[in-house]
């Protein structure tokens, strides 16, 4: 029971951190957050949408089951997995141009990493070469029984350090 409570607390911290990062990055822009996740973690997206709403970002979720060719083009998605769902959280005023939309890609995994903690294989495109457009901006791992872990947040989403 204690482990379950600590895992829930850890999930709340991860969720709050991700929501805060998204709100800060999308300040003054429309929002489009694409989440690729196993079917078992789709509830995370609903919690994230509620957390964004609680931070003043009205948004809605659009769920789709991607086709294999489309799935291969999504950020770090594994086209051989049939249990993946794509959920897009959208919010904000209609944008006139792409520059007015903050696009964030999130990948949620449930498999334990196969490499060391410094392994950046999640950033490699399927052909083995990094492609900036296909990189997840945020990677969350749900494999640890003590709760989810933020494995990666893209530097452009990190707030600048305050001058001292």
CB 19 within 8 A of CB 51: yes
At residue 78, the pLDDT reads 52
* 61 belongs to a structural domain: yes
Q: Which H helix or E strand runs over 11?
A: helix 2-25
* 163 belongs to a structural domain: no
At residue 157, the pLDDT reads 87
With H, G, I as helix, E, B as strand and everything else as coil, classify residue 137. Answer: coil
* 39 belongs to a structural domain: yes
* 48 belongs to a structural domain: yes
* 112 belongs to a structural domain: yes
* 62 belongs to a structural domain: yes
pTM reported for the whole predicted model:
0.75
At residue 123, the pLDDT reads 44
At residue 92, the pLDDT reads 73
* 22 belongs to a structural domain: yes
Question: In total, how many domains does the chain have?
Answer: 1
Distance CA 8, CA 17 (A): 14
* 162 belongs to a structural domain: no
Query: Range of 58's domain?
Result: 2-157
Distance CA 48, CA 6 (A): 19
At residue 14, the pLDDT reads 95
pLDDT values of the chain reduced to their tens digit, one per residue, 164 residues: 455 888 889 999 999 999 999 999 998 889 999 999 988 888 899 999 999 999 999 888 888 765 544 445 444 445 455 678 888 988 876 666 777 889 999 999 987 665 554 444 444 433 332 344 568 999 999 988 888 999 999 988 876 555 55
């Amino acid at each position: 029971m204690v482990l379950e409570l600590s895992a829930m607390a850890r999930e709340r911290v991860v969720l709050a951190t991700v929501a805060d990062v998204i709100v800060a990055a999308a300040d003054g822009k429309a929002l489009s957050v694409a989440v690729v996740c196993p079917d078992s973690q789709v509830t995370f997206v609903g919690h994230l949408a509620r957390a964004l709403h609680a931070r003043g970002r009205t948004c809605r979720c659009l769920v789709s089951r991607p086709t294999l060719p489309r799935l291969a083009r999504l950020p770090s998605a594994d086209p051989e997995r049939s249990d993946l769902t794509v959920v897009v959280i959208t919010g904000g005023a209609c944008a006139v141009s792409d520059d007015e939309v903050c696009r964030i890609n999130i990948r949620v995994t449930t498999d334990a990493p196969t490499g060391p903690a410094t392994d950046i294989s999640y950033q490699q495109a399927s052909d083995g070469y990094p492609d900036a457009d296909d990189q997840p901006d945020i990677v969350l791992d749900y494999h640890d029984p003590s709760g989810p872990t933020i494995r990666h947040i893209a530097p452009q989403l990190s707030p600048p350090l305050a001058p001292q």
